Structure 1
Amino acid sequence: MIVIHSLHGGGAERVTVDLSEFWRARGYEVTVVTQAGPEHDAYQLHANVRREVLGTAGASGNKLKALYSNLRRLWRLRRLIRKYEPTIILGMMTTSSVLAILAARGLSCRVIATEHTHPPFQDLPSVWKKMRKKAYPQAYKVVALTSDTARWVKENIPGSQVCVIPNAVVWPLAQTDPVVEPPQRGTRRRLLAVGRLHSHKGFDLLLTAFASIQSYFPDWDLVILGEGSDRESLQAQVQQLGLDERVAMPGRVGNVGQWYQSSDLYVLSSRVEGLSNTLLESMASGLPVVAFDCDTGPREIVRHGIDGALVSPPEDVDALAAHLSDLMAHPDKRRMLAMRAVDVRDRFSSVRVMALWRQVFEGGNTPEQNKGSSSCAES
């Protein structure tokens, strides 16, 4: 049983769909439990994966309503656990993990919690932080995407049994709706960024960096794919910087693979990351990459100078502009990095990552974590 808030879009949501399909194909009975219904799903579950909807999504308004809402979520989830009697329950992200641990208390199943973002930078109410501290030591395992996040959990939530399992790279990418065809480029070059339009993704920094170098590279355009709450502010910044003719923001697309294939360079400007699916996808597509070396994530994927460039210090607009300029100006260097970027198809392959999950499911011993590799470590 996999518990997650919704399938409305995002890295953890897509991983839920991929994991459920993989395990169902290998003989597991899989139930995905969401709070929100399927009306706004961005991802489609496999026909043989059971879907249960708690119907408990939505803001709570005040503390009393929040308490009532969470008790209702726990009661409905516990009822489903009793009904299906899963051997393993996987909570996807912090709140779903905490709910799963509490709802399964006293029942004969293993509960695995997961952290998909780095906790110090998480937008999480204090009450959930306190609940996490009490709940995680009760979990069978706590799975982190990166070694840095695993270290944080170990140091800040004593008693947690921590394991590192990265996301698998999806290759080739499936096509879903909406399909937005990339414009024909002709002789123009394309710098691509993909992600939720949120301050964590640092697109404001990217726009400032691109504005500072765009006059030196008149044949390059920037495309930012994704949707989110910062769309209006980012569009206003585009206009303010005079980039209307050089920057496009088409929104969320279901054929992102075509956009990777039709671009020349990928950039990840995030202030905060877990383990970036878009970074893995772009490299698997044969794109050289430039990424901020933020606290977690990119450094466990990108091998600086081998398959991409890590920008330090994070959030430094001038440093980002310098690294972008270097690769935009040197096509031979881009080709060299791109040739090694595709190594992520093996380094983060489904076969390797699912073997780590199987070790956790079956309770086997796991090898020591090697930084940047797809191995699992108990901390």
Structure 2
Amino acid sequence: MSPEALTQRLLREHPPASVGRAAFLAAQYDAGLTWVHHPVGRGGIGAERDAQRAVFELLTAAGAPNLQVESRPAYSMGASSVLAWGTAEQQDRYLRAIATGERWCQLFSEPGAGSDLAAIDTRAVREEDGWRVTGQKVWTSMATSSRKGMLLARTDPDQPKHRGLTYFVLDLATPGVEIRPLRQITGEAEFSEVYLTDVRIPDADRLGPVGAGWKVAMSTLSSERDMFGTKATESGPVELALALYGERDGRDPALRSRLVRLWLRGHVLRLYAGRTEGASGPASKIGFAELNQAGYELCLDLLGDEALLYDPAPRDPRRLFLRSRANSIEGGTTEIMRNILAERVLGLPAEPRVDTDLPYSSLRRG
């Protein structure tokens, strides 16, 4: 049976308005429609990844929950990492929890390790019953509303910085975890800094082998770029600019020209992202960031003097303009994305790296 036919049957047997959110999401997982490309028994049916889009369109039209929107980090990043690196027991435990709405956040970035992720200093020390973790993470999206965190920590400082890392799934309710929201330019506190003080993590919550944290993290980051790349198929700034243009004086040739170019960029980006389906996440991620920023800047110019009157409403162009400043930073800076494209896609010479093979403990850190 096709994914679309399975979805129709799911909606008939479990009407979202009648069974409730948790029951519907559990039924969706059991039907193999949470991640159709996953194996049977892991939330999928072994179908092509492309089929998920049609499934979500049917579910959205029926008013069903959409985890791709409501819980992006867990749905897109956590699940893919668990499927790639988790044991059978971990896949059973984590995937069902994610599929039924459990939120996760990403505990990677640190004050002294942003774009150079391998320079993280949070330490995990092996103990008889697991690990003891101490350190600080920052710019953690959705930390205040998440149940678990994807944690990268240093377990062997005498190894080179890329090889002494290990990946964990951290229960944020564990004693020693302190989450401090960070107020941003929009007035919201979407991000947080997370302090870890002697936090105990069972070894059963380690994802992947000890010392293989960098490889696991790369699979997570690849999914994150694809996640941002899928946003390139959305047309929020273009639609908003078109609406504002229709309300304003449409005779300004400069604004009209910018709007046409914006529409063309958005259309090309959607075609590109739709055809590659994550094959070139960094390129889609760059395109998404640049389109958002250019689009909401045009919206403010269309508003004229009204652009100075800030409105924190979620879909207000003034708020969206300020929020879009982060698009070229979050999920990997545009500069890092261009390096990845240059080195790994185009095959250009890599930048010189003098500390790759040196023990992390011997490196000078600010």
More helix by share: 2
TM-score of the superposed pair, with normalisation by structure 1: 0.26
TM-score of the superposed pair, with normalisation by structure 2: 0.26
